[in-house]
Amino acid sequence: MSNKMHIKMTVNGKAEEFLAEPRELLIYTLRERLNVTGPHIGCETSHCGACTVTLNGKSVKACTLFVAQADGAELTTIEGLGTPDSLHVLQEAFREHHGLQCGYCTPGMITRASKLLEENPTPTEEEVRFGMAGNMCRCTGYQNIVKSILAAAAEMNAAKEAAQ
């Protein structure tokens, strides 16, 4: 169809190129077109954060971005954070501290948390709670999510120190 746009993007290090209607929402591009189903849909109104991905170094909600807005972008989703043999520290910490139950919010949570810890490697509990307020969880009551993120931060900082 004539109104399709030529889109290029990098998703988890892999170059992607395709034609898409400009109105296609980024979350559908990821989930339906590229089979990247880690990010989920919880509201489609930018409230819940289940769809959180990293776009050009910023946390964004993929449900309310058009694919056209992500043309040329570099994207990281939960699938790009760790591998089964070498999990991201946050992926380990969420398991260790029971930071998830149904798991539906988890990909968005961890993706957001990874960004948060880049922005602020030594957050206080309050800063974690504030920095994660764009991601909703219906199961955990957040207490163990906060615990997981603080534990991951501590671990990452300890590793950094040890490396110096």
Distance CA 142, CA 145 (A): 5
Closest C-alpha to 99, from 84, 113, 115: 113
According to the binding rule CB under 6 A, does residue 56 interact with ligand FES?
A: no
Residue 119 makes contact with another protein by CB under 8 A: no
Asked whether position 95 contacts ligand FES by CB under 6 A, the answer is: no
79 binds another protein, rule: CB under 8 A: yes
Q: Does 102 bind another protein (CB under 8 A)?
A: yes
Among 143, 40, 52, smallest CA distance to 94 is for 143
Q: What is the residue whose two structure tokens read 């990909």?
A: 107
Interface pick for ligand FES out of 73, 75, 89, 105 (rule CB under 6 A)? 105
State residue 18 phi and psi, 5-degree precision.
-165, 170
User: How far apart are CB 140 and ligand FES at their closest, in Å?
Assistant: 5
Q: Which of 20, 25, 51, 132 binds ligand FES (CB under 6 A)?
A: 51
Instruction: Quote the tokens at residue 10.
Output: 């990098």
**Two tokens, residue 122:** 């030594």
The least CB distance from residue 164 to another protein, in Å, is 28
Query: Phi and psi at residue 41, in whole multiples of 5°?
Result: -115, 125
Shorter beta-carbon distance to another protein: residue 68 or 139:
139
18 forms part of the interface with another protein (CB under 8 A): no
Is the Cβ of residue 36 or residue 156 nearer to another protein in the bound state?
36
